[in-house]
Structure 1
Amino acid sequence: MVRSCCVKGCNSKSHNRKGQKLNHQDRYFKFPTWKKGNGEHVAEITKRRRMAWVAAVRRKNITFANISPFMYVCSRHFHKGQPAYEMMETDPDWAPSLHLGHTETIQTDTERFARQNKRAQKKKTARSAEGHGEQHTEETHEDNGEQHTEETHEDNGEQHTEETHKDNGEQHTEETPYNIQEVEATQTECNMCVQRCAEINRLLEENGKLQRELNEYRMSDGFFGDNDDKVKYYTGLPNLGTFMALLHFLLPLMPHQKKILSPFQMILLTFMRLRLDLPAQHLAHLFRVSPKTVYRTFNEIVSFLYVNLKRSIVWPDRDTLQKIMPHQFVESFGHRVAVIIDCFEIFTEKPSNLKARAQMFSSYKHNHTMKYLIGITPKGCICFISKGWGGCTSDKHITENSGFLKNLLPGDIVLADRGFDIKESVGMLCAEVKLPAFTRGCCQLAAKDVEETRKIAHLRIHVERVIGNVCQKYKILTGTVPINMILPCEGEDVTFLDKIVTVCCALTNQCPTVV
């Protein structure tokens, strides 16, 4: 059904002449109803609101008692794009107030009202005198040589009668009692206006304070305020500026769909679960939704973040590496160090399938795990993260089959732990891998090997600090992951846990490095 705005001069419509829906985001709202059956207070407020809407639209065919059900007011005429709650009478959007097609106002003529009231009083007095059989006419009195006459004056094109008195050759105008009453009424009204303004300002201030508290209570856009510590605790990001920059990057990319939660709330819910590993039931209480909505929102936003943030995990070119190379690496290995690699494991539930159980059991952790290969630059930025592998998979196998070797160039040096026996694989690329030496039996390390091992161990520790930083920031990686997270996503070659790990690494890259 075609909906159109009834405000004068507004051409907003929901469909064109061919019945095709237009793309604009306008919404249409019916006139408020007078709720007479919900108590005296509600009836009075809803009646005033309906009258305010009728007065704002100002159309002859729209009256308080006669409003067609097909009359709508579009969202263009409200500051926030929709009417306010009917009990919020002080809200600017309690009634439409923007682009109403009329700006002229008629100033009240107090003098005209005074003249009308004076004439009405005279007619009332005349009727009262006739009832007692008396007849009043205009009379001329003479008293001690004084004469009273009525004169007619013309003021601004209007005629009125005043009594003029002559006393000892002097002429003066007598004030009627009504003028005194009018002055007193005006003064009383001014005092009431001052009191009303003071009360309105107090209510507006109170309303703003309650609105801010409600925003925090609802986890809405004003939840963080200007508190960087709050941002760091709930999201892991260093400050509000970083969070807002990331939010402004993501919001235009999110699909426009009607959801229970706002885009801000959906992103905040996801960050809180990644950061604090809160149960879905707890998040459901915080955001006033069902646990099912929490699961669905978390899955959707993690997939959305994975698509848009995985590009921030990039392998830098050699020129960039040389420009940002820390002096410790330059002193030990020159400008040739490209990456430091290591593997970390995430605990999972015990699979029911025996083959999967064997593949995922880690002899190092004595538990069922998923293993990931991570690479960082000498500056401490994560530049590579692999897909997940079963805990029993060797470091060498993951390195050779994860696509890591494709990033190396001839002459690059890779710093790794001694468990990475990949010298042959790297050597085929004319690159070099540096592994710490270790003793066999009772053999003593040569002095050269001792110094080489000390340098490698000293610099390779940076990757362990980065891994610890990622897991410390996002507690979801330190818990036990359910089995459904390590199953491949529908139509994709990655698991949901792969997406979570990638998103956590990408968010860590938005923070200052620990190197």
Structure 2
Amino acid sequence: MTTQQSLIVADITDGNTIATEKPCALLQEKEKVVVEGLLKLITLQKTSEDKGVQVKSGDIISSLAATIESDAKLSSLTGLPNLQVLDELVDLIKSHFPDARIHNLTVKERIIVTFMKMKTGLRYVVIASLFRSVSSQSCKLIFHDIISKLAVILKLVIVWPTLEECQRSLPICFKNFSNVRVIVDCTEITVQRSKNLCCRIFTYSHYKGTQTIKFMIGVSPAGLITFISKAYGGRASDKAIFEQSGIIDMLDMHKDAIMVDKGFRIEDLTDAHFIKLIRPPFLKKKMQLSKEEAHENVDIARARVHIERVNQRIKVFEILTKPLPLSLVPKIDEIFTVICAVVNLSVPILSDDKFLT
């Protein structure tokens, strides 16, 4: 196996023990403030709706879900765009993954737990403090179970369009690049340092100067995520990921063009000369760009900015901005798929007046 192959994650764990009792006692000071604030808001809402009824700790689980009655609250807590998407996910999981077992939490609540973990990056012990009828270990099991089911369902939202479909919904900024099928970029997620030397070597990113996991994403000109590579160790180069991801096989070498940035060096790939590559011009040995190159640089930058906006939406989920625990590394492909699918289901990157037709 070479260091450029897909990240092997099955045996990477953090070895930490998850407490199953008295989760509040394990909270850090900042986490206690967050939990107390949320519980206070829940209690205030509950008492305002039902005056004279004292809220007990056992009521917290039902009232937490009940407080999420607007799209804005749902989005801030879970990252899901609206309540309709949440309800549809509940129906899909019930129909595709029937479960006769008795759970302390409903399917809806388990989905909320899963998305809360991804959106806020809170530790299981914090989430367990909000959902009083479950332990931190139960929250972990819920997350690992639901994220796998969501990945199966939501991977269908990542659709690879034809060039003709891309051209039917072409943004104004792509009028000079009508044959672009996909804009590609790599994004890195910081991961906790492993005790295993091989894993540290495999995940070390010279660009970030730390341990990372790397994905390549493809975005259509209209701003939808259309391709996600498998997870790679941070040591893998953009060239290696591009070559091994399978995206070359999905392109029509005679019609399609790919848009990349300056740091994406794939010119020496096998068969790459059949792909039209659009990227900002290099200075090379010149003192400055020509007038034509300068205009081309501006046009490409204006078109490529949309993939940066997509990356910003992905990183709204704080599970990807904090160092990823090693215990979650085996789930990172599923986590990233679910997050990208939710980005596609959210408000479009471009408004209707930004398109040619």
TM-score computed with the length of structure 1 as normaliser: 0.54
Equivalent residue for 2:113, pick from 269, 275, 290: 269
Shift of 1:222: 5.4
1:356 alignment partner, SS class: helix
Shift of 1:318: 2.4
Equivalent residue for 1:433, pick from 259, 262, 277: 277
CA RMSD of aligned residues (A): 2.6
User: Cα distance 1:391–1:362, how it changes in 2: closer, same or farther (>3 A)?
Assistant: same
Does the CA-based 8 Å contact 2:68-2:74 persist in structure 1?
no
Does the CA-based 8 Å contact 1:426-1:433 persist in structure 2?
no
Partner in structure 1 of residue 324 of structure 2: 481
Partner in structure 2 of residue 503 of structure 1: 338
Shift of 1:424: 4.8
Alignment partners' CA distance in 2, 1:245 and 1:215 = 28
Shift of 1:228: 2.0
Query: In structure 2, what residue type is equivalent to 1:506?
Result: A
Partner in structure 1 of residue 84 of structure 2: 241
Whether 1:408 and 2:243 are equivalent positions in the alignment is no
Does the CA-based 8 Å contact 2:173-2:299 persist in structure 1?
no
Query: In structure 1, what residue type is equivalent to 2:212?
Result: T
Runs of 5+ in structure 2 lacking a partner? 1-48, 351-357
Does the CA-based 8 Å contact 1:216-1:223 persist in structure 2?
no
Query: In structure 2, what residue type is equivalent to 1:345?
Result: E
Alignment partners' CA distance in 1, 2:56 and 2:345 = 30
Alignment partners' CA distance in 2, 1:415 and 1:209 = 62
Query: In structure 2, what residue type is equivalent to 1:415?
Result: M
Instruction: Please give the per-residue CA displacement for 1:246-298, whole angstroms capped at 9, x wherever unaligned.
Output: 33333322332222221111111001111111111111111111111011011
Alignment partners' CA distance in 2, 1:478 and 1:466 = 15
Does the CA-based 8 Å contact 1:347-1:481 persist in structure 2?
yes
Runs of 5+ in structure 1 lacking a partner? 1-205, 487-494
Partner in structure 2 of residue 450 of structure 1: 294
TM-score computed with the length of structure 2 as normaliser: 0.77
Alignment partners' CA distance in 2, 1:337 and 1:240 = 35
Equivalent residue for 1:322, pick from 130, 151, 167: 167
Partner in structure 1 of residue 193 of structure 2: 350
Alignment partners' CA distance in 2, 1:211 and 1:313 = 47
Does the CA-based 8 Å contact 2:90-2:107 persist in structure 1?
no
Instruction: Please give the per-residue CA displacement for 1:149-182, whole angstroms capped at 9, x wherever unaligned.
Output: xxxxxxxxxxxxxxxxxxxxxxxxxxxxxxxxxx
Shift of 1:513: 2.2
Alignment partners' CA distance in 2, 1:282 and 1:361 = 30
Equivalent residue for 1:417, pick from 243, 261, 268: 261
Instruction: Please give the per-residue CA displacement for 1:194-249, whole angstroms capped at 9, x wherever unaligned.
Output: xxxxxxxxxxxx97996999997324695245322211111212222332233333
Does the CA-based 8 Å contact 1:435-1:456 persist in structure 2?
yes
> What percentage of aligned pairs have identical amino acids?
34
Alignment partners' CA distance in 2, 1:513 and 1:215 = 40
User: Cα distance 1:426–1:245, how it changes in 2: closer, same or farther (>3 A)?
Assistant: farther
Alignment partners' CA distance in 2, 1:506 and 1:211 = 41
Alignment partners' CA distance in 2, 1:339 and 1:298 = 32
Does the CA-based 8 Å contact 1:349-1:482 persist in structure 2?
yes
Alignment partners' CA distance in 2, 1:429 and 1:251 = 48
Alignment partners' CA distance in 1, 2:262 and 2:138 = 46
Whether 1:296 and 2:141 are equivalent positions in the alignment is yes
Equivalent residue for 1:313, pick from 155, 158, 182: 158
User: Cα distance 1:220–1:249, how it changes in 2: closer, same or farther (>3 A)?
Assistant: farther
Shift of 1:502: 0.9
Shift of 1:498: 1.2
2:66 alignment partner, SS class: coil
Partner in structure 2 of residue 398 of structure 1: 241
Partner in structure 1 of residue 213 of structure 2: 370
Alignment partners' CA distance in 1, 2:107 and 2:142 = 10
Does the CA-based 8 Å contact 1:216-1:222 persist in structure 2?
no
Does the CA-based 8 Å contact 1:232-1:238 persist in structure 2?
yes
Partner in structure 1 of residue 304 of structure 2: 460
206-215 or 280-289: bigger deviation: 206-215
Query: Whose helix proportion is higher, 1 or 2?
Result: 2
Alignment partners' CA distance in 2, 1:209 and 1:353 = 57
Shift of 1:511: 0.1
Alignment partners' CA distance in 1, 2:238 and 2:250 = 17
User: Cα distance 1:247–1:212, how it changes in 2: closer, same or farther (>3 A)?
Assistant: farther
1:298 alignment partner, SS class: helix
Q: Which runs of 4+ in 1 moved over 3 A?
A: 206-216, 219-222, 423-430
Does the CA-based 8 Å contact 1:396-1:419 persist in structure 2?
no
Does the CA-based 8 Å contact 2:92-2:153 persist in structure 1?
no
Instruction: Please give the per-residue CA displacement for 1:122-143, whole angstroms capped at 9, x wherever unaligned.
Output: xxxxxxxxxxxxxxxxxxxxxx
Alignment partners' CA distance in 2, 1:237 and 1:260 = 23
1:373-392 to 2 correspondence within 5 Å?
373-392=216-235
Does the CA-based 8 Å contact 2:205-2:234 persist in structure 1?
yes
Query: In structure 1, what residue type is equivalent to 2:185?
Result: D
Does the CA-based 8 Å contact 2:203-2:233 persist in structure 1?
yes
Does the CA-based 8 Å contact 1:221-1:265 persist in structure 2?
no
Partner in structure 2 of residue 7 of structure 1: none
User: Cα distance 1:432–1:219, how it changes in 2: closer, same or farther (>3 A)?
Assistant: farther
Of structures 1 and 2, the one with the larger relative CO (CA 8 A, separation 6+) is: 2
